Amino acid sequence: MNTRTLADWLSYQEQVNPRAIELGLERVRAVWQRMGAPRPARHVVTVGGTNGKGSTVALLEAMLRQAGRRVGCFTSPHLLAYNERVRIDGADVDDASLVAAFERIEAARSQGPGESIPLTYFEFSTLAALDLFVRAELDVAVLEVGLGGRLDAVNIVDADAVAITTVDLDHMDWLGPDRDSIGREKAGIARAGHPAVVGEVDPPAGLLDALHALGATVIRAGVDFHVERLPSGWRWMHRDGTTMALPDPALAAPVQYANAAAAIAILHALGHGLLGAAPEQAVALALRGVSVAARLQSLGGDPVLYVDVGHNPQAARALAQWLDAVPHGPVHAVFGALSDKDVAGVIGALGARIDRWHLAGLERDTPRGLPAHALADALVAGRPDARFDLHPGVAEALDAARTAARPGETILAFGSFFVASAVLAAHRA
């Protein structure tokens, strides 16, 4: 009998369900129930939101591991290797473990009378993570929502606490036309009587209304916990009187204070001594050491190269805030986007902060990728005076930026996970 490799399994999964995205819990829940539906860890935290999910997951992982907890994290999508999606005790799982999990999932989805249950690629990955977490005997499993919340595959697990980092306009074809409707979808990961941390100070009413209707214990930034920036470091404060004096996060961008504050609020609400006997020390060590690929990640050099997965207007506003806060020379953007993204909104958020745009077509990477000329049309409409050049792919745009940029200047590559993964691959080569 021939054994499928991990690459074989991933290719196979793309064919099982003709839809790349199919929201709904019935199919994935049925397969998980056939697998026994065990609890994936003693404590489960689910993280949703438009932006900031990956950073918040990484911060939670770092804080818990500094406190000596055994942690599993499920995130998506991956940048360079599929294994990145499932981390156990600080390490990406190996091919053999994933293959074994896929074999168990395949057996479960194919058992019983009638046709096999047609899982999507993401649903396979979700079930693989849960299966491997069960076997790892974790203290905490941290699950990142893939899309939305209420109907996302991770929502088959009842979380002990959830965080909703931000709510903004993205994936509107799936989630609704405004922040209220999107917020209601994201609220669906919460459970009655359990903490739901809202990470932004001005959340939409639809999110708060839905959380209250579900009976969740809502914990709000700016209401129940606060951040105070200090000349050196910052302070996290809870209305119950708990405070922590903390160092600045190692993660770049001012928005990371909000992500870190939300992560602390989740663990504070969960209790159970998860941060150990010295919680402030565990958090401080985590903040100093945490790293997340492609979240304003510096790849060094002169001109310095930064890479970021930001792909919507809210993420672009965070990039603009970072550019306003740090010294830098002229900025060269390597930019690519998918067809369902608000390219005009991204361009508008960055305004005149970009000195030259190196526009990368993504149609070679995915059927959803925009060609460079479509990016140019949006750029000219929004900023008629913008300087730009067109390229068939990310590699060519990055080469052009490196040629054009001078020492002391900055190259910022962003707009899509496809952009980030291509830049990281080129840097690693």
Instruction: Indicate the average pLDDT of the chain.
Output: 95
| DSSP secondary structure code for residue 180 in this structure | H
Find the mean pLDDT for residues 24-41.
95
Question: Does residue 114 carry a pLDDT above 90?
Answer: no
Residues in a beta bridge with 144 = 47
pLDDT in tens, 380-391: 999 999 999 999
CA angle 233, 237, 240 (to 5 degrees): 160
CB 32 within 8 A of CB 128: no
Sort 170 into a burial class: Cβ within 10 Å, 0-12 / 13-18 / 19+.
buried
Given the structure tokens 């739901």, which residue do they identify? 196
- Percentage of the residues of the chain whose pLDDT score is greater than 70: 97
* Confidence (pLDDT) at 172: 67
Q: Cβ–Cβ contacts within 10 Å for residue 386, how many?
A: 16
CA angle 40, 43, 49 (to 5 degrees): 90
Question: Does residue 1 carry a pLDDT above 50?
Answer: no
d(CA 120, CA 122): 5
pTM of the predicted model as reported, rounded to 2 decimal places: 0.95
Which residues make Cβ contacts (< 8 Å) with residue 15, sequence separation at least 6?
Answer: none
Question: Does residue 230 carry a pLDDT above 90?
Answer: yes
Q: How confident is the model at residue 174 (pLDDT cuts 50, 70, 90)?
A: low
| DSSP secondary structure code for residue 87 in this structure | E
Question: Does residue 21 carry a pLDDT above 50?
Answer: yes
Q: Which range has the worst mean pLDDT, 241-250, 280-289, 321-330?
A: 321-330
Residues in a beta bridge with 306 = 298, 412
Question: Does residue 190 carry a pLDDT above 60?
Answer: yes
User: Cis bond leading into 77, ω under 30°?
Assistant: yes
Q: Which range has the worst mean pLDDT, 107-116, 266-275, 308-317?
A: 107-116
* Letter string b/e over residues 200-224, b meaning 16 or more CB atoms within 10 A of that residue's CB: beebbebbbebbeebebbbbbbeeb
* Confidence (pLDDT) at 148: 85
Q: Cβ–Cβ contacts within 10 Å for residue 361, how many?
A: 22
pLDDT in tens, 361-407: 999 999 999 999 999 999 999 999 999 999 999 999 999 999 999 99
* Confidence (pLDDT) at 133: 98
Q: How confident is the model at residue 202 (pLDDT cuts 50, 70, 90)?
A: very high
CB 369 within 8 A of CB 361: yes
pLDDT in tens, 332-347: 999 999 999 999 999 9
| DSSP secondary structure code for residue 186 in this structure | H
Find the mean pLDDT for residues 311-340.
95
d(CA 96, CA 99): 5
Q: Cβ–Cβ contacts within 10 Å for residue 39, how many?
A: 14
Find the mean pLDDT for residues 32-54.
97
d(CA 140, CA 363): 39
pLDDT in tens, 53-99: 999 999 999 999 999 999 999 999 999 999 999 999 999 999 999 99
- Please give the torsion angle defined by the CA atoms of residues 20, 26, 29 and 30, in that order, rounded to the nearest 10 degrees: -110
Question: Does residue 302 carry a pLDDT above 60?
Answer: yes
Given the structure tokens 């750029």, which residue do they identify? 379
* Letter string b/e over residues 269-302, b meaning 16 or more CB atoms within 10 A of that residue's CB: bbeeebbeeebeebbbbbbeebebbbbbbebeee
Residues in a beta bridge with 218 = 196
Residue-wise DSSP of 248-277: PPSS-STTHHHHHHHHHHHHHHH-TTTT-S
d(CA 194, CA 216): 5
Find the mean pLDDT for residues 123-145.
98
